[in-house]
Structure 1
């Protein structure tokens, strides 16, 4: 038995099952069949093909990363032959072909550990070099390498943490120094120092250092009092230079310069080399790398949410800015309060938009100005706090338009805030829903991922933005599960929310009943919200409201789209293309594809997909029309379709879209018309009358008491029942509708 290199649990090997995805393997085997599926491996780009990238995992062992596995277009990859990359082994075929998957982590420091796989076993990489490393440590201090996993910068000569209680202790062995780090950190009363001198000479000579001098002129008085508390704890060496504190947003101009930054730790991750702390100040976020030895946690006393002062050198790694630490102090007392106050003031100032940026003068939207500003502030604040954002929306054209609008507005803010190129994938996720209800199944998925990210990667709990879902009582259980964990939620819906929802969510954007004069789509409402979140994308969003209406878009929105270059035919193409793509792989966000369709397409892509939409929908409509049953009850015309018998249930179009289209094309001009699609245990209802699906379900339940009739979704117009009572339910619903109309 061994111990997991990340959590220390007893395992048969070197890594436990729950942390295997957090480790990257250096493969030194002799053939592809020695690879282990689902593991992440370091490889080297061999070359490109039209269908993907070939990656060498070892001499003679090459895999294919197919273009369908990429999270971006193949043409946009910046990999060159010979580049080191990280991939996941998905499958090893009988013929030896290796199928690879994409890894969002594309640097060693993003993994929490590294192992060598050889001869069917795994071992730590430093085991190969123990003897030579020991000999080098005995002979002379190690020089700081240039690859970011250095041993000299901020540590004793052998790479261990150089922390002591006084000058005499600093002359002890580096092993003793490392042991004393935890003791002195626990003993600190005001500032929990975990500093490390920048050179071996500083450690052995015990030269005094000063953390009290570098302050901003405008905060001199507060900083002086705060730094007096820092200086009270003189048992540990402080950062080794009198650096000026600089804003994180300026680090790109200070490469190779010594700097001091102060901020909050927003994430911690252990890589196969350094420990990486993500630190946020009032201007941005940056990675801070601290190295003890390969895969060993530096500064174990530093936790998520700590306020820290860091001295170090600015470096550029793979076009990303990071700071190589030379000294780090956890601030407490007045010192921490000064930084926290600075962060809070800047956060409040940056997060709240000045005013609503409505795309048109729509009274239904302007009536919600305060709510829209609250929602925009919540989204902007999450970006500034380095809090992940999860957007949930129905897999419909309106849902995708609304979700894509928020995505278009938020991603540039994330890019501006974070130095990491992949931050837009790390801090923003869009997950479509199958229906319009945020069910327990959806909430359980979200909470499971949320807790895994918190426990594995020290991530903050995300902000959940529910668009076109979550506003009715049918979503109460799902939202309740989020509330158990105090996960913040924003709900946006173009239709009136249930009163119960107004009490259960943190921020609600939904019209009051008195404010509803006409039809407001969720896409139209959310597009104005997105423009308020980020005014720079205002012009990008002008056509989205018109796309979100299936028919009869308000004239103001149609004119807005036309002014942006999208006439009625072009808007229809986009709507149909989005509706088709929303159906396939419905749980995937299809971020790049949706972006191409809605924002970057010159016309060919949307036109091509729209043509498929019309062909598939036309074929299904022709079949359905031949098998409709029509009857009149109390002056109401009912059109009924057996969706089990006369639809392709597992192909496009989805039943809800088919029934909606049938209703629009068969409804009466004069008189009330109702279209019903009834399947095994679910009924779809569309009506020209103003009917409440809940009222219909309640009355039908009284007429057919053994059928367990319930309203499944008022937004989708769906009713559920027991399959054995199908015929009774059909009669009961018809009777209930006729009575209510």
Structure 2
């Protein structure tokens, strides 16, 4: 038995089960069976194939990282044979083949420690090796000032101090201070001349210099060697390595959120800036207040976006300009505060257009703010919502992940941006769960809202909150927010408002796309291609594929190819359902009814929502003038499509009176759906038809 090197709990070896995925393993065995599933290992790129990358794990075992396990396209990897990479062992087959998975951590310091695993055991690296990895021990010469680690009264390291030139010796500096000598040590510390304060964004020009930085600790991680603090000032953020001893937390009294003063040498390691910490002090009192005020002033000034104007003169969007700036300011501030941004959007063409616009705007800001090459995977994520609502299942997943990241990596709670979702009662419980934990969130949506649902949001962009919002898409709002988040991407996302309209895109947005180089036919192809890809693996963001479809001009053929598949599948399904449509009337309203259980291929593209939209749009031209409604009825639910926006919440009240045993429950607001008990299907359908017709007649 031993103690876990991370949490200190008793463990069968140097690591407990709950923290095995937090450390990096060096494999020194010779047989694949000696590897452990679920652990992350250092590897070396051996070669490439059409189906993946061969990775040497240790000197004698090679595994396959299949392309399906990558978070990007295979040809987008910038790896070369011989490069050091980090992978997870996800399977060991009977024939000895090793299946590898992608590790989002592609830098050793992202792990909280390092262990060696051989055929028989797992153990800490040799001290010499750890010292080499940490780069904390520096050689001195006769011409250099001697440095040594000082400790506080408990033996914890408090940094490296340059011995003063006033006759002090190594013993004087090394001696651990007692309570009685604390004031004397502070006086000695103040006697050491500190370098002039440097802005973090200037450090790239000061490699090799000894500098002083002041700012907030926005993250801390423990590696096998040093502790790495991410420090942010009013200009940028940088990693600072502080060493006590291999794998042991330096400055344990310093936590995320503390304001500190740090002295160290600027280095360039693996093409990334890092400050080797010589001294680190948590500030208090007036000193802390001064730094916090400086940070707050800079954040407030820089985060508030300039009024860059809307993409087009749109009467429904113009009243939202201030709320658009508010939402954009939240996103900009989150990036500056090293707070992850999580975009949750509907898994539809409209939702993807809006979510991709925000992704396009935020990623360059993240790369500019953080020195780490993989920061964009840590500080931004886009997660589609399969049913268009942010329900308790979605919120529970997010809260579990964010709390785990806070516990493991001292990560700030993320900013959640709900796109094309978040305005109706179905999202209420999920938003309230975020609010319980104090996670900031914004809503960018065009669904007709339920009263009070978005009240906990820090910003709400919804045209229905003010004047009439009909005719506006989430893609229009998302693109406008993105342009305020990062004006540099304005031209990149100018075509997305047009992409987000299925039919009847306003000329103002069609012309905008034309000016950006996207003719109307190609805009249609983009919309259809994204809609098809949104259906498959609807819970995945498909970042690289969506980028290729929406933003890569040289890959126009890709969109045309996928769009052709969309049209073929949709037309085949329309040919299947049209002979089986039922037409009935009630109170002057024409109803087109599709039994989706009996006459559709329910587990293939197109999904019910896309199919009903197409059926309704096609039937509008074939039906008599007047009020037309399309209903798609399944075993226990009926979806509504109308040309006048039927509010299913009001319809449900009337329908329940006519079929009290059917258990009718509304989901959504305008053109949503109604759920019922499967055993009361016929009664529920009759009640819904009658209730919808009454609603439309009363509305007129």
**Into which bin does the TM-score normalised by the smaller protein fall?**
over 0.9
Provide the C-alpha distance between the structure 2 equivalents of 1:729 and 1:677, rounded to a whole number of angstroms: 13
> Is 1:101 aligned with 2:87?
no
Provide the C-alpha distance between the structure 2 equivalents of 1:12 and 1:709, rounded to a whole number of angstroms: 56
Structure 1 counterpart of 2:149, from 157, 162, 167:
162
How far off its partner does 1:233 sit?
6.7
Once the two structures are superposed, the pairs formed by residues 255-266 of structure 1 within 5 Å of their partners are 255-266=207-218
- TM-score by length of structure 2 reads 0.93
How far does the alpha carbon of each residue in 1:237-259 deviate from its partner, in whole angstroms, 9 at most, with x for none? Answer: 46955311110001111111111
How far does the alpha carbon of each residue in 1:95-124 deviate from its partner, in whole angstroms, 9 at most, with x for none? Answer: 111111111111221100111122343211
Once the two structures are superposed, the pairs formed by residues 642-657 of structure 1 within 5 Å of their partners are 642-657=595-610
Q: 1:108 to 1:198 in 2, by over 3 A?
A: farther
Structure 1 counterpart of 2:667, from 689, 697, 712:
712
Provide the C-alpha distance between the structure 2 equivalents of 1:238 and 1:345, rounded to a whole number of angstroms: 28
Aligned position for 1:268: 220
3-state SS in 1 of match to 2:449: coil
How far does the alpha carbon of each residue in 1:596-643 deviate from its partner, in whole angstroms, 9 at most, with x for none? Answer: 111114311100110110111111111111222222222222211111
Aligned position for 2:405: 453
> Is 1:125 aligned with 2:112?
no
Aligned position for 1:289: 241
Check conservation: 1:436, 1:713, Cα contact below 8 A.
no
Aligned position for 2:178: none
- TM-score by length of structure 1 reads 0.88
Moved more, 663-672 or 465-474: 663-672
Check conservation: 1:709, 1:722, Cα contact below 8 A.
yes
Check conservation: 1:356, 1:373, Cα contact below 8 A.
no
How far does the alpha carbon of each residue in 1:284-325 deviate from its partner, in whole angstroms, 9 at most, with x for none? Answer: 000001122221111111111111111111111121111111
> Is 1:408 aligned with 2:357?
no
3-state SS in 2 of match to 1:519: coil
> Is 1:693 aligned with 2:648?
yes
How far off its partner does 1:26 sit?
1.1
Give 4+ residue runs of structure 1 displaced > 6 Å after superposition: 199-203, 230-233
Moved more, 574-583 or 101-110: 101-110
How far off its partner does 1:283 sit?
0.4
How far off its partner does 1:504 sit?
2.5
Check conservation: 1:48, 1:54, Cα contact below 8 A.
yes
Check conservation: 1:161, 1:298, Cα contact below 8 A.
no
Once the two structures are superposed, the pairs formed by residues 409-558 of structure 1 within 5 Å of their partners are 409-512=361-464, 515-516=467-468, 518-558=470-510
> Is 1:588 aligned with 2:540?
yes
Provide the C-alpha distance between the structure 2 equivalents of 1:456 and 1:160, rounded to a whole number of angstroms: 32
Provide the C-alpha distance between the structure 2 equivalents of 1:410 and 1:231, rounded to a whole number of angstroms: 47
> Is 1:371 aligned with 2:346?
no
Q: 1:161 to 1:264 in 2, by over 3 A?
A: farther
How far does the alpha carbon of each residue in 1:340-365 deviate from its partner, in whole angstroms, 9 at most, with x for none? Answer: 11111111110001214311111222
Once the two structures are superposed, the pairs formed by residues 144-223 of structure 1 within 5 Å of their partners are 148-152=134-138, 162-164=149-151, 179-181=154-156, 194-198=158-162, 204-206=170-172
Provide the C-alpha distance between the structure 2 equivalents of 1:319 and 1:455, rounded to a whole number of angstroms: 29
How far does the alpha carbon of each residue in 1:188-238 deviate from its partner, in whole angstroms, 9 at most, with x for none? Answer: xxxxxx333257997725379xxxxxxxxxxxxxxxxxxxxx999717746
Check conservation: 1:86, 1:105, Cα contact below 8 A.
yes
Structure 2 counterpart of 1:729, from 671, 678, 684:
684
How far does the alpha carbon of each residue in 1:473-513 deviate from its partner, in whole angstroms, 9 at most, with x for none? Answer: 22111101001001111001134433313523221111246
Q: What stretches of structure 1 of length at least 5 have no aligned partner?
A: 134-143, 166-176, 183-193, 209-229
Q: 1:324 to 1:482 in 2, by over 3 A?
A: same
Aligned position for 1:174: none
How far does the alpha carbon of each residue in 1:652-680 deviate from its partner, in whole angstroms, 9 at most, with x for none? Answer: 11111111111111132502221111112
Check conservation: 2:324, 2:481, Cα contact below 8 A.
yes
Provide the C-alpha distance between the structure 1 equivalents of 2:63 and 2:35, rounded to a whole number of angstroms: 11
Moved more, 513-522 or 656-665: 513-522
Q: 1:330 to 1:203 in 2, by over 3 A?
A: farther
Aligned position for 1:221: none
Provide the C-alpha distance between the structure 1 equivalents of 2:409 and 2:190, rounded to a whole number of angstroms: 28
How far off its partner does 1:738 sit?
2.1
3-state SS in 2 of match to 1:196: strand
How far off its partner does 1:714 sit?
2.5
Aligned position for 2:342: 390
Structure 1 counterpart of 2:528, from 565, 571, 576:
576
Aligned position for 1:621: 574
Provide the C-alpha distance between the structure 2 equivalents of 1:77 and 1:715, rounded to a whole number of angstroms: 44
Provide the C-alpha distance between the structure 1 equivalents of 2:678 and 2:223, rounded to a whole number of angstroms: 54
How far does the alpha carbon of each residue in 1:34-64 deviate from its partner, in whole angstroms, 9 at most, with x for none? Answer: 2222210111111222222111112331011
3-state SS in 2 of match to 1:341: helix
Once the two structures are superposed, the pairs formed by residues 60-139 of structure 1 within 5 Å of their partners are 60-126=60-126
3-state SS in 2 of match to 1:86: strand
Provide the C-alpha distance between the structure 2 equivalents of 1:373 and 1:42, rounded to a whole number of angstroms: 44
Provide the C-alpha distance between the structure 1 equivalents of 2:71 and 2:77, rounded to a whole number of angstroms: 10
Q: Please tell me the root mean square deviation across aligned C-alpha atoms, in Å.
A: 2.4
Aligned position for 1:641: 594
Moved more, 597-606 or 683-692: 683-692
3-state SS in 1 of match to 2:518: coil
Check conservation: 1:164, 1:180, Cα contact below 8 A.
yes
Q: 1:652 to 1:204 in 2, by over 3 A?
A: same
